[in-house]
Structure 1
Amino acid sequence: MWVFYLISLPLTLGMVVLTVKYFSGPDVPRYVFFTVGYTWFCSIAVIVLVPADIWTTIVGNGSGNAAISFFWSWSYWSTFLLTWLAVPLIQGYEDAGDFNMIERLKTSIHVNLIFYLIVGSIGLLGLILVITMHKDWLDGRGILGWAMACSNTFGLVTGAFLLGFGLSEIPRTIWRNADWTARHKFLSHKIAKTAVKLDDAHKELSNAIVVAQATSKQMTKRDPLRPCMDVIDNMLVQMFKEDPSFKPQGGQLGENDMDYDTDEKSMATLRRHLRAAREEYYRCKSEYLSYVTEALELEDTIKNYERRSMTGWKFISSFRMERTGKIGSFLDMAELVWRCILRKQLERILAVILGCMSVAILLAEATMLASGVDLSLFSLLIKYVGDQEVLVQVFAFVPLMYMCLCTYYSLFKVGRLMFYSLTPRQTSAVSLLMICSLVARYAPPISYNFLNLISLGKGKTTFFERVKFLSYVLST
Structure 2
Amino acid sequence: MWVFYLIALPLTVGMVAATLRYFAGPAVPLHVLATVGYAWLCSLSFVILVPTDIYTTITGNQKGDVGFFWSWSYWSTFVLAWAIIPTIKGYEDAGDFTVKERLKTSIRANLLYYEIVGSIGFFGIVLIIIMHHDWGGAILGFAMACSNTFGLVTGAFLLGFGLSEIPKDIWRNADWTRRQKILSHMVAKMTVKLDNARQEYCNTITVVQATSKQMSKRDPLRPFMDIIDNMLAQMLRDDPLFKLSGGNKLAENDMDYDTDEKTMAALRRRLRIAHEEYCRSKSKYTTSVMEALELEDTVTNYEQHDADGWKYVSDLRESRSGTLGSFLDHIDTFTFSEFIWRCILLNRLLKVLSVLLGCISAAILLAEATLLPTGVHLSLFSVLINAVGKQEILVQLAANLWEKMHLPLILKKKHAMTTFKKSVV
TM-score category by the smaller chain? over 0.9
Q: Which residue of 1 aligns with 2:41?
A: 41
Give per-residue Cα distances to partners, 1:408-462, cap 9 Å, x unaligned: 3144246448728xxxxxxxxxxxxx9xxxxxxxxxxxxxxxxxxxxxxxxxxxx
Matches within 5 A, 1:226-305: 226-251=222-247, 252-305=249-302
Distance across 2 between alignment mates of 1:324 and 1:224: 61
Letter in 1 for 2:393: V
**Worse-matched range after superposition: 230-239 or 389-398:** 389-398
Deviation at 1:397, TM superposition (A): 2.7
Cα RMSD of the aligned pairs, angstroms, is 2.0
The secondary structure found in structure 2 opposite 1:221 is: coil
Matches within 5 A, 1:90-169: 90-137=88-135, 139-140=136-137, 142-169=138-165
Deviation at 1:207, TM superposition (A): 0.9
CA contact (8 A) 2:90 2:109 kept: yes
> Does residue 315 of structure 1 match 2:312?
yes
Over 3 Å counting, the alpha-carbon distance change for 1:151 and 1:393 in structure 2 is same
Matches within 5 A, 1:375-414: 375-413=378-416
Give per-residue Cα distances to partners, 1:344-386, cap 9 Å, x unaligned: 1211111111111111111112222575543211111111112
Deviation at 1:330, TM superposition (A): 2.1
Q: Which has the higher contact order (CA 8 A, sep 6+)?
A: 1
Distance across 1 between alignment mates of 2:46 and 2:93: 29
CA contact (8 A) 2:360 2:406 kept: no
Deviation at 1:58, TM superposition (A): 0.2
Structure 1's consecutive aligned runs of 4 or more residues displaced over 3 angstroms after TM superposition are: 321-327, 369-374, 398-404, 413-418
Q: Which residue of 2 aligns with 1:337?
A: 340
CA contact (8 A) 1:46 1:76 kept: no
Distance across 1 between alignment mates of 2:198 and 2:59: 61
Q: Which residue of 2 aligns with 1:69?
A: 67
Distance across 2 between alignment mates of 1:16 and 1:179: 31
The secondary structure found in structure 2 opposite 1:99 is: coil
Give per-residue Cα distances to partners, 1:121-167, cap 9 Å, x unaligned: 12101111123224311x33x11111001112111011112211111
Deviation at 1:391, TM superposition (A): 2.7
Deviation at 1:302, TM superposition (A): 0.9
Over 3 Å counting, the alpha-carbon distance change for 1:156 and 1:398 in structure 2 is farther
Give per-residue Cα distances to partners, 1:101-140, cap 9 Å, x unaligned: 1111111122223321221012101111123224311x33
Matches within 5 A, 1:50-65: 50-62=50-62, 65=63
CA contact (8 A) 2:42 2:73 kept: yes
Distance across 2 between alignment mates of 1:216 and 1:99: 17
CA contact (8 A) 1:98 1:268 kept: yes
Letter in 2 for 1:196: V
**Worse-matched range after superposition: 97-106 or 304-313:** 304-313
Letter in 1 for 2:109: V
CA contact (8 A) 1:162 1:406 kept: no
Distance across 1 between alignment mates of 2:319 and 2:216: 56
Q: Which residue of 2 aligns with 1:195?
A: 191
Over 3 Å counting, the alpha-carbon distance change for 1:370 and 1:250 in structure 2 is farther
Deviation at 1:324, TM superposition (A): 5.2
Letter in 1 for 2:9: L
Distance across 1 between alignment mates of 2:46 and 2:289: 38
Give per-residue Cα distances to partners, 1:8-40, cap 9 Å, x unaligned: 110000010110111011110011111111111
Distance across 1 between alignment mates of 2:350 and 2:406: 19
The secondary structure found in structure 2 opposite 1:311 is: coil
Distance across 2 between alignment mates of 1:199 and 1:8: 45
Over 3 Å counting, the alpha-carbon distance change for 1:183 and 1:201 in structure 2 is same
Distance across 1 between alignment mates of 2:382 and 2:129: 38
Aligned with residue 368 of structure 2, among 365, 368, 374: 365
Distance across 2 between alignment mates of 1:306 and 1:134: 76
Distance across 2 between alignment mates of 1:121 and 1:304: 62
Distance across 2 between alignment mates of 1:417 and 1:54: 32
Letter in 2 for 1:271: R
CA contact (8 A) 1:159 1:407 kept: no
Distance across 2 between alignment mates of 1:146 and 1:307: 66
Distance across 1 between alignment mates of 2:134 and 2:47: 33
Distance across 2 between alignment mates of 1:296 and 1:383: 49
Distance across 1 between alignment mates of 2:415 and 2:134: 41
The secondary structure found in structure 2 opposite 1:419 is: helix
The TM-score with structure 1 as length reference comes to 0.83
Q: Which residue of 2 aligns with 1:469?
A: none
Letter in 1 for 2:296: E
Distance across 2 between alignment mates of 1:411 and 1:208: 34
Over 3 Å counting, the alpha-carbon distance change for 1:122 and 1:324 in structure 2 is closer
Over 3 Å counting, the alpha-carbon distance change for 1:324 and 1:125 in structure 2 is closer
CA contact (8 A) 1:162 1:407 kept: no
CA contact (8 A) 2:161 2:416 kept: no
CA contact (8 A) 2:93 2:269 kept: yes
CA contact (8 A) 1:382 1:395 kept: yes
Distance across 1 between alignment mates of 2:76 and 2:92: 21
Matches within 5 A, 1:188-227: 188-227=184-223
Percent identical pairs in the alignment equals 60
Distance across 2 between alignment mates of 1:33 and 1:324: 38
Instruction: Structure 2 unaligned segments of length 5 or more: list them.
Output: none
Letter in 1 for 2:12: T
